[in-house]
Chain A
Amino acid sequence: MIAIITIEQKDSLIGQRFDGVQFFNPVQDIDNNWAISIEEINQCINVDFQWVKDLTLSIFNPPLTEPLI
């Protein structure tokens, strides 16, 4: 499960720790929406980013991948 976030929210999360040790890692789905994982949300104890707890969860639709050459 993931939560879709805005570009502004994505920019605010990059380089920030969600539990004092681990960094947020926003990723893009097949529609180029930015998203963070439920594990990042559940483990988030950073007081500056408690708003992630209010995000709506959904299924992640990954980007299409190409065979390796």
Chain B
Amino acid sequence: MMFGYGMGISPTNRGFGGGGGGGAYTARTIAFAAETSIVDTTILDALNTLDQGLIDNSLDSKMVALYPFVGGTATTHKYNFFDPRDLDVAFRLAFFGGWTHSATGIQGNGFTYADTFLTPSTSLSLDNTHASIYSRTDNTRNTFDVWANDGKLVLGLNFSGTEYMRVNQLTYSTKVATNSLGLGLVNRENSTTEKLYRNGTLTLTSARTSSSLSSSTVSLGGQNGAGISWTDREYSFASLGQGMTDSEETIFYNLIQDFQTSLSRQV
């Protein structure tokens, strides 16, 4: 598939003389480059390798929104790699508060969150959901990192010393948090069990029956409420989509960690 953005790159001609894996850029990489005007081949090669890895492992079909936070500006960071249109319906982020944007990601300041415009009840499936986020900051805060406003989808990497999980129901599952670094992922692939992973390792399995999908949009960096504040962590990746098996989650983590390493921002 060829995208007609006039960027001078195509799946068969990178157009930048870039190195990387030596293959052609995927259609998604080309579309993302066109929309963001990113021409840095280190970034594009990293995105392309990530996308090709998702494709090769049949994980691309599980992604609804994927935020790679590359390019270093609010404008480049707002786009969903899987639908890089500047539209709410494409789940393009809206940043609220004074985020600091850099090559390493989006840095909150305690007054910040980002609305994905993704409503689980219309875009995700009750017994087939994941949410992930990659934090470069290790701290303890009263904040959730992924949060649907009615509380039915929650990922907290380190909320006052505790990791929190909810996937399509309203009872928290928790464990002691050791830090807030790296890739956290909450997952449901059936009606009876939720799973929490950190950096490719299954850290919590909880018997929680699904009840219903959130009818509120999902935010990154939390949402203000009783006992809850906004984030001051730096994030360098996030995703929302279908659930994964344990082995798929391991592959997914390795792809994300390789992506971060290729951009010299891994933790």
Contacts and interface: CB of A to CB of B under 8 A. Distances in A.
Contacts, number: 69
Nearest to A2: B111
Contact of A37 (B98, B172, B229): B98
A56 interface: no
B224 interface: yes
Contacts of B160: 67-68
Nearest to A62: B229
Contacts of B100: 39
A13 B109 CA distance: 18
A25 B159 contact: no
Contact of B74 (A2, A19, A24): A19
B95 A22 contact: yes
Interface residues of A, number: 23
Interface in A42-61: 42-43, 60
A14 B150 CA distance: 22
A23 B113 CA distance: 10
B79 to A, nearest CB: 11
Interface residues of B, number: 26
Interface in B203-244: 224, 226-230
Contacts of A25: 96-98, 111-113, 230
A4 to B, nearest CB: 13
A65 B142 contact: yes
B96 A22 contact: yes
Nearest to A35: B111
B111 A27 contact: yes
A44 B9 CA distance: 35
Interface of A: 2, 18-19, 21-25, 27, 36-43, 60, 62, 65-68
Interface of B: 74-75, 78, 94-100, 109-113, 142, 159-160, 164, 172, 224, 226-230
Given A39-B100, A65-B229, 12 more contacts: A22-B74, A22-B99, A23-B95, A24-B97, A25-B98, A27-B224, A37-B98, A37-B112, A39-B98, A65-B228, A66-B227, A68-B228
15 contacts: A2-B111, A18-B98, A22-B95, A23-B95, A24-B96, A25-B97, A27-B224, A27-B230, A38-B98, A41-B98, A42-B98, A60-B110, A65-B227, A65-B228, A65-B229
